[in-house]
Amino acid sequence: MAFELEKLLRPHILSIKPYSSARDEYSGKIGVFLDANENPYGSLTGEAFNRYPDPYQADIKEKLAPIKGVKPEQIFLGNGSDEAIDLLMRAFCIPGKDNIVLLPPTYGMYEVSAAINDIAIKKVPLTPDFQLQPDSIIEAVDENSKIIFICSPNNPSGNKMDRNAIRKIIEQFSGLVVVDEAYIEFSDEPSFAVELDTFPNLLVMQTFSKAWGLANLRIGMAFASQEIIRILNLIKPPYNISGLTQQKVLESLEKASEIKDLVHKVFEERMYFENELPQFDFVRKIFPTHANFLLVRMDNARQIYEYLISQMIILRDRSKVQLCEDCLRISLGTREENTSLIQALKTYHSNLN
C-alpha cells in the first residue's frame, strides 16, 4: 500500500500558516535587536537568558545529523520525546474518529497522549516473550488507523524487536510507523534511522533522556522524511527547546564518543545483577535486556516492591501489567546503588526463612 502524506494528515493541517516569530522573520545573529520585546539588560540571575532561543535548533541539528546518519532537515527536536508523540497525534489523528495501534506491554505515554487527544486505541499484545505479531497487527488496522507505535528496545520488557518483523509492518501498513528507540544506545542493533530513505512512512524517535544523561533538560529527537519533519515544525510551539538546553546538548555532542564508556558500565551492572539475582529462590525469571533496565519476574513481586520502599529503594512495579505479571522493573544504577538493592533483597530473603 502506498503512503500518501497529504491523505494521512488531518486535512486542516495542510492549510495552517505557522506563527511567524521574530526569529523567523530575521534569523541573523548580529544586529540591534528591537523586535522581540525582550529585556535588553540581561537576566536577574546575572546570566544572559534574556534573548529568545533558535526556534529550529540549527546548531544542534548540524552536529547531530552526521552522528545519526541523517540530514539536518530530517531531524525534529522536541521538549522530550513526549512532545513528538503528542504532535504526531495532533497532526495525523482526527479526535473521535481515528485510532492508533499499540503493542502492549509498552511505554505508557502513547496511550495517555491518545486519551488526551480523544484518539481511539487498538491493542495487539506482544507474544509472551515480548515479540511482535506482524500478521495480527496488520489484521487489526482499519481505514482509520493512522499510527502504529513500536518500541524497540521495548519498555518495560527491555528486549529488542525482530528487525524483519518491524520491516514487514512498515511495508504492509499505509499509515505512519513510529519506532521508538529511546534505549538504542544500549542495544547492539543499528538504528532504523538508516532506513528512512527506504521507508517514507517511518519515523524514528530517540531521546537525550537516557544514555545521554539529560533527562532533566527535556529534549527528544524524531527522524523522518523532510516532509514529515516540516509538518512537526509547523505545529510545534515556536520556542520549544530552551536556550540553556540547546547549549548543554551542544556541549554533550562534543563528547558523543564517551557514550560508549557509559554503555559499557551499564553492561557491567547488567552482568552484576545477572550473577547476583539467581541466588534468591523467589526470582523466577530475568528477562533478556537490550536496555539500561531489567525486567524480573518473582514470587510476591508486590510485597517485595513494598518491602524495598520501606528500605528507601524504589523499583518500578509492573506486576499488574499485561504479560508482566509478577514483574518488577529495575533501572541499572551505580554499583553502590545496585549493591544496596542486593543487600536489601538478602535481608528480605533471610526474614522469610
Ligand X SMILES: *Cc1c(COP(=O)(O)O)cnc(C)c1O
Establish whether the linkage from the previous residue to 288 is cis, with ω within 30° of 0: no
CB of 205 to ligand X, least distance (A): 7
Dmax (CA) of the chain:
75
Name residue 87's amino acid. L
Is 217 or 283 the residue whose CB approaches ligand X more closely?
217
d(CA 327, CA 320): 8
Query: Phi first, then psi: what are they for 162, rounded to 5°?
Result: -60, 125
CB of 208 to ligand X, least distance (A): 7
How close are the terminal C-alpha atoms of the chain, in Å?
61
Is 69 or 213 the residue whose CB approaches ligand X more closely?
213
Q: Which residues contribute to the site for ligand X (CB under 6 A)?
A: 80-82, 107, 151, 155, 180, 182, 207, 209-210, 215, 220
CB of 108 to ligand X, least distance (A): 9
d(CA 79, CA 237): 10
Task: Give 151's strand partners.
Answer: 180
Is 207 or 345 the residue whose CB approaches ligand X more closely?
207
CB of 336 to ligand X, least distance (A): 23
Task: Please choose, from the candidates 180, 215, 212, 219, the residue with its C-alpha nearest in 3D space to the C-alpha of residue 79.
Answer: 219
CB of 130 to ligand X, least distance (A): 13
Is 145 or 155 the residue whose CB approaches ligand X more closely?
155
d(CA 169, CA 32): 53
Task: Give 123's strand partners.
Answer: 102
CB of 111 to ligand X, least distance (A): 12
Name residue 265's amino acid. K
Is 209 or 319 the residue whose CB approaches ligand X more closely?
209
Q: Which residue's CB atom is positioned nearest to ligand X?
A: 80
Is 155 or 191 the residue whose CB approaches ligand X more closely?
155
